[in-house]
Each structure stands twice: as C-alpha cells, then as structure tokens.
Amino acid sequence: MTIRAVVTGAGHYLPERVVPNSEFEKSLDTSDEWIRARSGIERRHFAAEGELTSDLATKAARNALAQAGIDANQIDALVLATSTADLTFPSAATMVQANLGMTRGFAFDVQAVCAGFAYALSNANALILSGQAKRVLVIGAETFSRIMDWTDRSTCVLFGDGAGALVLEAQEGQGTPEDRGILSTDLHSDGRHRDILYVDGGVSTQTTGYLRMQGREVFRHAIEKLAATANAAMEKAGVTTDDVDWIVPHQANIRIIQGTAKKMGLPMAKVVVTVQDHGNTSAASIPLALSVASERGQIAPGDLIVTEAIGGGLAWGAVVLRW
Ligand code: UT7
C-alpha cells in the first residue's frame, strides 16, 4: 500500500477587470499584433485597487474547497505559492487561513516565482507522504500588476493577476503509475541566472521595485530546461509520452509552450493553453489552467497530466499527476 496525494477539488478566481492588448497601444509603442505574435497573449485580468493577492487566493480556495466538499477546518496545511504577498510578513498564507475561518493546522508561503506552484505541489506532496498532513490546500496567487514598470513595453504587456487552488488528500494507492494523485516531482534552481529575471527592489532596499527581464535569454533557457525537467519527472513516475493525456504548462508564452511540446514529442492537441486569456500569472498560471481545463471538461478523472514551469532564479520544475 502506497500513500498518494490525490486532487479532490480545484478552483480559481480571476479579477473582474479584463484588459485587452489594445489598451497598451494608447500609452506605449506596441501593438496588439506584436503582443499576439510574440507571446500569444490577447488579454489579461488586473486586480482592482485595494484587491490583494490574499483576496484572490481566498476566492480560489473557497471554490476548490466547495468542489472537494470539505470545510476549511478539515485542512491540515495550507501552502501558498506567491511572489506578490500582501505584506512583507506575515505570510499571505496566514491571511488566507484567517479569511477562510481556518483556526487549526498551519499555513506558509512558498516563493519560487513562476515555478512556485511546482514547488508548492512538491512540498504538499512531501507533507502528505511523510504523514504530517492528510489534507493540504495548495494555492498559487499573484498580483503581478503591482510590480510592472508601465513604461517598459518588453515586460508590462506580458503579465496578469489571478489565483488557482487544489485540495490534495491522502489516499491509498497501489504504488503504480495507474494510481490517482501525484506520481513524481522534479525541482531545480540555478542562482547564477538571477540577473535575467528579477525585481529590482525589496525589503533591504526599502522599495517595492519593478520586474526586470531579459526576455530572449529567459526564452532560451525555458524550452531546453522545461523539456528536460518534464522528461525527468516522467521517468521518475515510470511513464512515457505515450501515457500522457495532457501537458499543463506554465503559461508565459505560446511559443515556449509549443517549443516544449515539440521537444517532448507531444502534439498541441494534448496541451492545455490559457495564455491568450490570462497572460503570465506566474505561480497562479498552472492551478488556473488546471481548474479552467477541468471546468471545460478538457481534463477528466484518471487523466495523466504533466505540469512544468520556469521562472526567476532561475527556478524550474515539473510534476506528474493522475487527475
Ligand atoms: O514566466 C517567467 C518566465 N518568462 C518567460 O518565459 C518569458 C520569456 N521570454 C519571452 O516570452 C519573449 O522573449 C518575449 C515575449 C519577452 C519577447 O519576445 P522575443 O521574440 O524574444 O522578442 P525580443 O525580446 O527579441 O524583441 C524583439 C523586438 C525588439 O526590438 P529590436 O531590438 O529587434 O528592434 C524589442 O525592442 O521587439 C521589441 N519589443 C516590442 N515591440 C513592440 C519588445 N517588446 C515589445 C512590445 N511591442 N511590447
């Protein structure tokens, strides 16, 4: 008998305000055509004034809990992936814990930028496999609109706000790839590349700072590292591309998504794509895509899913799970 961390609920929340590419044409030397062609993005959601990352996370979490049919007080641990927490401390996770009326268990943030959800899932899986928690609420939530330099056309047109959440529960499996739940995780980071994607502010500098990115450099690393980590995770899980029903990639750029699928030898028909509607929501992009795809009926119970992501650090990783 093997313990598996099985997804029993998924939910998401997107802020009301939808901003089409054309909006940027008013203030920047850019075009809808350039943004679509180079990134695949058509629109994104931006949080309202005063709307916090923990607000988005709380709404996504409520939807996931409702789908799982459980109360927040049945959760043992809450893991929130974000790089845009409300305050320096306490963690956004404890804000969400309070918002949900969850008075037991423990909550903490994970910060691995766009790879944050892979890191959070891996942490949640470890908590369940080690017996420290039976039910874990895993959330990815971001308000990247707060760290955009609105005069920098090479970054501000690419990102959006949103949140997604999964409920993971300990269930018995057979120890085979046929089990439902997380089958493997594969994480990496390499701080030598910290200068190609970072925020030029923080507590020590007493500024919030803005996101800075050498897009072409990040792009170059992305396809190679994403395909490698996805393949490594599949090998650990004992599955091959023939077994894969869906790739649910980090949604940064359609060209990265297509390039990675091609390198893995998988057709785009097996890839969940939401980048056109959400832009890059960093740690929120994978749980958002999972929840949206599940709602659309694209991914169904029993499907084998590979998720992969890369972002600032560089940090990257992949998770193989059976839905
Ligand atoms: O989630 C975290 C990880 N992040 C990513 O995965 C992002 C990775 N990078 C990318 O997605 C792409 O590199 C970008 C979408 C950021 C840029 O696409 P690109 O094909 O790599 O373009 P580029 O940076 O090579 O720029 C091409 C040209 C440049 O002009 P010159 O130097 O060729 O004259 C840019 O100045 O496009 C220009 N450009 C723009 N033009 C119109 C840059 N941004 C814009 C813009 N509108 N918004």
Closest to 100 measured CA to CA, from 141, 144, 64: 64
**What percentage of the chain exceeds 70 in pLDDT?**
100
Cα of 30 vs centre of ligand 1, distance in Å, is: 11
Cα of 217 vs centre of ligand 1, distance in Å, is: 10
Determine whether the shortest distance from the Cβ of 34 to ligand 1 is under 6 A: yes
Class for domain 2-173, per CATH? alpha beta
- pTM surpassing 0.95? yes
pLDDT in tens, 186-225: 999 999 999 999 999 999 999 999 999 999 999 999 999 9
Reading the block at residue 152, the tokens are: 């920098």
For a pocket test of ligand 1, which of 27, 142, 219, 229 has the largest count of ligand atoms closer than 8 A to its C-beta?
A: 219
Asked whether the domain spanning 181-322 has the same topology as the one spanning 2-173, the reply is yes
278 residue type, one letter = H
pLDDT in tens, 97-130: 999 999 999 999 999 999 999 999 999 999 999 9
Reading the block at residue 24, the tokens are: 């940027």
pLDDT in tens, 19-42: 999 999 999 999 999 999 999 999
pLDDT in tens, 288-303: 999 999 999 999 999 9
Determine whether the shortest distance from the Cβ of 177 to ligand 1 is under 6 A: no
CB–CB of 284/110 below 8 Å? no
Count Cα neighbours of 60 within 13 Å in the Cβ-side half-sphere.
38
What is the Cα–Cα distance from 62 to 66, expressed in whole angstroms?
6
CATH of domain 181-322: 3.40.47.10
Determine whether the shortest distance from the Cβ of 79 to ligand 1 is under 6 A: no
Q: Which residues are catalytic?
A: 114, 250, 280
Determine whether the shortest distance from the Cβ of 155 to ligand 1 is under 6 A: no
Q: For residue 195, what pLDDT is reported? A: 97
Cα of 141 vs centre of ligand 1, distance in Å, is: 25
Determine whether the shortest distance from the Cβ of 36 to ligand 1 is under 6 A: no
Q: For residue 229, what pLDDT is reported? A: 98
Domain ranges (residues) in the chain: 2-173, 181-322
| H or E element in which residue 310 lies | strand 304-311
Contacts of 259 (CB under 8 A, 6+ apart): 222, 223
Query: In this structure, which residue's CA is closest to atom 18 in ligand 1?
Result: 38
Closest to 148 measured CA to CA, from 318, 309, 23: 23
Cα of 38 vs centre of ligand 1, distance in Å, is: 7
Query: In this structure, which residue's CA is closest to atom 42 in ligand 1?
Result: 30
Determine whether the shortest distance from the Cβ of 38 to ligand 1 is under 6 A: yes
pLDDT greater than 90 at residue 147: yes
